């Protein structure tokens, strides 16, 4: 369905050529200052036509708030918003309509619904993401104001050009990369047309995209996203672990095919003794209060599916866009073979424009989990403390515990 989230919930609507695309955001906390400009920022980073590296089509995509705020403050009631489509006509029938576009959704939409929008893209169009970007922009704003959460995504590879992730076989991830993760800001990201904040890599990526464009071809790549000051304790065992819901969110973005958190696939090649993140005494990055930290962060900020207060970072893989202008040998709907040639201004690479989509989807995940965890912890805080538990069950120093003798060791069942 077109709904994401439980307590902070977005519902989206809209095809590529209908009157408008938009969404309803339900569950936004009341009392948040919110203007259309707050939302527009991420929509503008998402829109086509920002540079010669993306499609030449220029759409402004202005957001119109319909409800849920007054005097620029949220009321706690559903926030409706929409962005008008520029081209709202149903399409005439063209030669290209005889073909399902390879690796596009034409064939599967018809198989699923028995009918599809005449424009082809329909709900599979990238315009569908406008609603979620708008919703996520609101979540971001809340998270920043209420909990200091910072979410930054950047392009990590395009085609075979990639950031220097690690130097050798024995290094889980390299120092240069870890530093990028720790420090990169949106401002740094937006300085590069490619939205890859590593200048050297960025230049190579720009070349690769221009080269693909000139050959009427397309390029995929990967985006890395880091969530700083992610509150401790987010993620709902057993099925809605932090990484599980992040993966769900990311792979719901059009063209995505892969997700990994922390050391990801690369981490599967290391030994437990290399990969474990030892605990060290430390302070919370936001509050400055003393608490346990980890000296490495190959876990990507999540252990047992619950955030541990370290930076959450993950990588998302985007396939090369299916729509390319060069000729393709493929079958028509009727089974006969032909040559499909899709004219038009297609995006040779969606990565730069996908940055705000990844960030805002991450914000939707964190926001919903934050509300859930607050519901739990505020409920637990209303109970009288218990004073008869053994020290293996509670945080040392936080509760009165029963005096107990240490035993040699305990049996582990599984």
What is the rounded distance in angstroms from the CA atom of residue 308 to the CA atom of residue 294? 9
CA distance 390 to 63: 55
- Number of residues interacting with a copy of itself: please give it, by CB under 8 A: 224
What minimum distance in Å lies between the beta carbon of 134 and a copy of itself?
13
22 binds a copy of itself (CB under 8 A): yes
97 is an interface residue for a copy of itself by CB under 8 A = yes
- Contact segment (CB under 8 A) with a copy of itself among 35-43, 180-188, 196-204, 318-326 equals 318-326
Residues 340-369 that bind a copy of itself (CB under 8 A): 343-346
Q: Is 347 annotated in the active site?
A: yes
CB-side exposure of 327: number of CA atoms within 13 Å?
4
Contact flag: residue 57 with a copy of itself (CB under 8 A): yes
Tell me if 313 contacts a copy of itself by CB under 8 A.
Answer: no
- Helices 36-46 & 129-147 angle (0-180, nearest 10): 130
The answer to whether residue 64 is catalytic is no
Residues 384-403 within binding reach of a copy of itself (CB under 8 A): 384-386, 388-398
Query: Which of 45, 140, 142, 189 lies at the binding interface for a copy of itself (CB under 8 A)?
Result: 142
Residue 388 annotated to the active site: no
Given 17, 38, 277, 368, which residue is catalytic? 17
3-state DSSP call for residue 127?
Answer: helix
Q: How far apart are CA 332 and CA 184, in angstroms?
A: 47
The residue with tokens 């919930």 is 9
Q: Does 201 bind a copy of itself (CB under 8 A)?
A: no
Name which of 127, 313, 133 is nearest 222 in CA terms: 313
Dist CA 325 CA 213 (whole Å): 9
Interaction of residue 307 with a copy of itself, rule CB under 8 A: yes
- Phi, psi of 377, deg, nearest 5: -70, -30
Rounded to 5 degrees, what angle do the CA atoms 9, 246, 354 make? 90
Enter the DSSP assignment of 279: E
- With CB under 8 A as the contact rule, the residue among 187, 214, 289, 334 that binds a copy of itself is 334
| Binding mask of the shown chain, residues 180 to 199, with x at each position contacting a copy of itself by CB under 8 A | --------------------
Contacting residue, 17, 45, 186, 204, with a copy of itself by CB under 8 A: 17
Half-sphere exposure (Cβ direction) of 141: Cα atoms closer than 13 Å: 23
Segment interacting with a copy of itself, rule: CB under 8 A, options 35-43, 88-96, 173-181, 182-190: 88-96
Does 214 bind a copy of itself (CB under 8 A)? Our answer is no
Residue 25 structure tokens: 């955001």
For residue 357, what are the CA distances in angstroms to 57, 172, 251, 321?
A: 19, 28, 11, 16
323 binds a copy of itself (CB under 8 A): yes
304 binds a copy of itself (CB under 8 A): yes
Q: Which of residues 100-139 bind a copy of itself (CB under 8 A)?
A: 100, 102-105, 107-128, 132
Q: Which of 270, 361, 348, 276 is nearest to 316 (CA)?
A: 361
Min. distance of Cβ 163 from a copy of itself in angstroms?
13
Q: Is 74 helix (H, G, I), strand (E, B) or coil?
A: strand
Which of 106, 277, 311, 347 is catalytic? The answer is: 347
Using CB under 8 A as the binding rule, the residues of this chain from 233 to 272 that contact a copy of itself are 233, 235-241, 243-252, 254, 256-265, 267-272
Which of the residues are catalytic? 17, 104, 347
């Amino acid at each position: 369905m077109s709904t994401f989230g439980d307590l902070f919930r977005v519902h989206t609507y809209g095809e590529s050529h209908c009157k408008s695309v938009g969404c309803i955001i339900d569950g936004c906390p009341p009392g948040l200052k919110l203007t259309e400009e707050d939302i527009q920022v991420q929509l503008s980073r998402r829109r086509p036509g920002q540079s010669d590296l993306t499609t030449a089509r220029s759409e402004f995509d202005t957001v119109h708030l319909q409800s849920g705020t007054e005097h620029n403050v949220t009321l706690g009631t559903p926030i409706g918003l929409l962005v008008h489509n520029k081209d709202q006509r149903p399409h005439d029938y063209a030669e290209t309509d005889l073909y399902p576009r390879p690796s596009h959704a034409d064939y599967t939409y018809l198989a699923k619904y028995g009918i599809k929008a005449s424009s082809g893209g329909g709900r599979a169009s990238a315009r569908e993401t406008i609603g979620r970007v708008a919703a996520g922009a609101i979540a971001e704003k809340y998270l920043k104001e209420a909990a200091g959460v910072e979410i930054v995504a950047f392009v990590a590879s395009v085609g075979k050009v990639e950031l220097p992730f690690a130097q050798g076989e024995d290094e889980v991830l390299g120092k240069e990369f870890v530093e990028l993760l720790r420090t990169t800001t949106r401002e740094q990201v937006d300085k590069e047309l490619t939205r890859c904040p590593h200048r050297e890599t960025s230049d190579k990526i720009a070349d690769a995209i221009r080269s693909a464009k000139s050959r009427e071809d397309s390029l995929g790549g990967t985006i890395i996203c880091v969530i700083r000051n992610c509150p401790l304790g987010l993620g709902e065992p057993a099925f809605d672990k932090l990484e599980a819901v992040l993966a769900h969110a990311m792979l719901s973005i059009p063209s995505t095919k892969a997700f990994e958190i922390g050391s990801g696939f690369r981490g599967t090649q290391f030994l437990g003794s290399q990969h474990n993140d030892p605990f060290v005494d430390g302070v919370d990055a936001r509050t400055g209060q003393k608490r346990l930290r980890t000296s490495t962060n190959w876990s990507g900020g999540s252990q047992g599916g619950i955030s541990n207060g370290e930076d959450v970072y993950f990588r998302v893989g985007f396939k090369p866009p299916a729509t390319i202008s060069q000729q393709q040998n493929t079958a028509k709907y009727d089974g006969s073979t032909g040559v499909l040639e899709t004219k038009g201004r297609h995006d040779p690479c969606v990565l730069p424009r996908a940055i705000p989509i990844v960030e805002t989807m991450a914000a939707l995940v964190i926001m919903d989990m934050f509300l859930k965890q607050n519901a739990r912890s505020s409920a637990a805080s209303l109970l009288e403390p218990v004073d008869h538990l053994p020290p293996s069950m509670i945080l040392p120093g936080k509760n009165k515990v029963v005096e107990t003798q240490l035993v040699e060791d305990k049996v582990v069942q599984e």
